[in-house]
Structure 1
Amino acid sequence: MSGTRIAVVAGDGIGLEVLPAGIRAVDAVAEVHGLRLDWHHLDWGSEFYRRHGRMLPVDGLEVLAQHDAIFLGAVGVPDIPDVETLWGLLIPIRRAFEQYINLRPVKTLPGVTNRVRTDEVIDLMIVRENNEGEYSEIGGRAYRGLPEEAAFQENVFTRKGVARAARFAAELAVSRGGRLTSATKSNGIVHTMPFWDEVVRDTLTDYPSVELRSELIDALAASLVLHPERYDVIVASNLFGDILSDLAGAVTGSIGSAPSANLNPERRHPSMFEPVHGSAPDIAGQGIANPIGQIWSGAMMLDALGHRPAAAHLTAAFEHVLAEGVRTRDLGGTASTEQFTSAVVAAVGGLADRYLGTDADADAVVDADVAGVAS
């Protein structure tokens, strides 16, 4: 009997190290829960680009479409322009498969001290519109090489695109603390941002229990550093969401721990799961990369595939390891990627009984985790 088909793209740099760690952790929890996962490894990325002049094969998207999910490590190397690596792999996948939600949880992790406001517990979700906004393909360059050379980039905001991001965020807020913050810059960007505000407000009329607050992006960025505990769910455009999630991840200890899910909520296409961090060429090959972002992304993948107890189990496992004092260097510890991953696999086994009671018992445990520290 075939299992869930997962396309694996390790990519570049530390992606080649943390992705195997993520698979090992996901496999450990899948075995406990009786899940069959079929991993299909694809050698796409910068090395593929060097050989073929493109980041993925001509039929790459067709190959990915045959899978239930995509598990990605990291993409990018110093000697190839980011415009080639990003627009040659990540963005085509996000758009071809209508992964219009980029979901990024941010929270205080056990045993990890927040960079600021160390006395507060941070637990928030950033919903980033993932298919349009500032990352539009519309634009170009004129008069290249001349003094009057100019570059043009068009932002694209559609009512459909903004509304579906706002709706996803509102549904998430309903299931959490009931507070939704919308990132805007309508005092300086006179067309797209007032439109964003209008569509978000219109959408939220269907959610009377959700408290909506709009905040200017500059003030919001400062507030996320000074008062991150005030936020529950944040919805933001493509660019704003990208920046805010990196900032918030760093505030809670390290961007190396930050996960993300590129979601097609209707599940017409595969969704893609990846850590927020990049390929980190400065530490690649040293075996010291933090695998939490990849492991946590794996937990988000399990949840999106309908395996909620397994997802909560895996999240609890890496949190348990952190609480025991095992941490990688970016978190102030000394553990290698291998040591941390091995500890997580052991914790999966140690916590198995907690997640393998009756269905009702397992659901109660998962609900308690979601209401507490776990996302």
Structure 2
Amino acid sequence: MTSHRIALVPGDGIGREVTPAARAVLDAAGTRHGVRFRYDEFDWSCERYLAEGAMMPADGLDRVRHHDALFLGAVGAPGVPDHVSLWGLLIPLRRGFRQYVNLRPIRVFDGLESPVRGARDVDFVVVRENVEGEYSEIGGRLNRGLPGELAVQEAVFTRPGVTRVVDFALDLAARRRGKLTSATKSNGIVHTMPFWDEIVAERAAAKPEVDVESEHIDALAAKFVLDPGRYDVVVASNLFGDILSDLAAAVAGGIGLAPAANLNPEREFPSMFEPVHGSAPDIAGRGIANPIGAIWTAALLLDHLGHAEAAAGVEGALAAVLAKTRLRTPDLGGTATTVGFTRAVLDELGGAR
């Protein structure tokens, strides 16, 4: 039996409610496919920050460096500024472990109504550059509190950074339907975006089997709504990918559905998996959080660890529950609980609970 060691970071809010759902599904899928999971749980969170002054300990990365993967539930809580919680936990993990690909699949499941009229056959992936771009640490503020106060934030695009994420996206498109769309804004951003476009063109020349197009980010956002079914793989910078993937999740039915993987493709470091929905403090503790994003994220984790059949089984179980039942959590117009929906997925998987 194959064994994997997983670092669990439930985090804040509904992260603590959906992480057990993901764990139950991982265990059920593992039972069916001869995979055993061992878990180490860490209390890294805003609660820890308020108590100890840090989201995680100074040696946090060393504590999880040798795990096979990390599963993060959610980050964020009232009373802790978002830039504190993210830069104290999520971003150090992404950058310290060189998780330069943020992979966000989008799908309109049968049985779910998209807010976009006529949205059918939507099945694409946003590949977001995850460690540089617009979310750099270079910059600062001057003359705080004075009339002439200013803030400077520098975007950083490196040739190795852009090349590796574009190559990943091209390889993914070649394994899917052979189409890649690059998000740009080279008509308005005069240095970084033309540089991005040049590298996309260079790398695309070595992958002639993939049809590559570039779209300005504003037009692309509109087309995500007007014709989302036309896309296969979309590659974007850190900021553009962040915005596009949340928009795409809304097109698919809601942010609670969306999974994400922070990947170190070379596997020099562990990759981290997290649903996109955030900590949702307004519904935390009520037992009604949508576990779909976390369960689908568990499928991404399985696939990354080499268990493609198990991953497909989890995604298939999700799809079956949505297609065959009216079981929905309140964000999707139903009355199901987190536990109730998870139980239905486990029943489809045939796993022990």
Shared fold per TM-score greater than 0.5: yes
Deviation at 1:117, TM superposition (A): 3.2
For 2:348 and 2:161, how far apart are their aligned partners in 1? Answer: 41
- Counterpart amino acid of 2:32? V
Q: Secondary structure at the match of 1:86?
A: helix
Deviation at 1:110, TM superposition (A): 2.0
1:217 corresponding residue in structure 2: 217
Q: List alignment gaps of at least 5 residues for structure 1.
A: 351-375
1:345 corresponding residue in structure 2: 346
For 1:76 and 1:119, how far apart are their aligned partners in 2? Answer: 32
The Cα offsets for residues 331-366 of structure 1, whole Å up to 9 and x where unpaired, read as 22221101000001111018xxxxxxxxxxxxxxxx
For 1:91 and 1:105, how far apart are their aligned partners in 2? Answer: 21
How does 1:171-320 map onto structure 2 within 5 Å?
Answer: 171-320=171-320
CA contact (8 A) 2:163 2:199 kept: yes
Deviation at 1:318, TM superposition (A): 1.2
> What is the number of residues matched between the two proteins?
350
2:335 corresponding residue in structure 1: 334
1:55 corresponding residue in structure 2: 55
The Cα offsets for residues 253-311 of structure 1, whole Å up to 9 and x where unpaired, read as 01101000000001110000000111011111111110010010000000000011111
Deviation at 1:51, TM superposition (A): 1.4
* Structure 1 moving runs of 4+ over 4 Å: none
Deviation at 1:78, TM superposition (A): 1.6
Distance 1:279 1:269, change over 3 A: same
For 2:51 and 2:13, how far apart are their aligned partners in 1? Answer: 17
TM-score, normalization by structure 1? 0.92
CA contact (8 A) 1:169 1:234 kept: yes
1:12 corresponding residue in structure 2: 12
TM-score, normalization by structure 2? 0.97
Distance 1:119 1:53, change over 3 A: closer
Q: Secondary structure at the match of 1:131?
A: coil
Distance 1:36 1:118, change over 3 A: same
For 1:68 and 1:34, how far apart are their aligned partners in 2? Answer: 17
Deviation at 1:180, TM superposition (A): 0.5
For 2:176 and 2:328, how far apart are their aligned partners in 1? Answer: 29
2:42 corresponding residue in structure 1: 42
Q: Secondary structure at the match of 1:18?
A: helix
For 1:185 and 1:117, how far apart are their aligned partners in 2? Answer: 28
Q: Secondary structure at the match of 1:167?
A: helix
For 1:65 and 1:154, how far apart are their aligned partners in 2? Answer: 30
- Give the % identical residues: 61
The Cα offsets for residues 19-68 of structure 1, whole Å up to 9 and x where unpaired, read as 11111111111111111110111011111111110000111000010211
How does 1:111-130 map onto structure 2 within 5 Å?
Answer: 111-130=111-130
What RMSD, in angstroms, separates the aligned Cα atoms of the two structures? 1.1
How does 1:78-89 map onto structure 2 within 5 Å?
Answer: 78-89=78-89
CA contact (8 A) 1:117 1:227 kept: no
CA contact (8 A) 2:2 2:35 kept: no
- Counterpart amino acid of 2:61? L
1:373 corresponding residue in structure 2: none
How does 1:97-112 map onto structure 2 within 5 Å?
Answer: 97-112=97-112
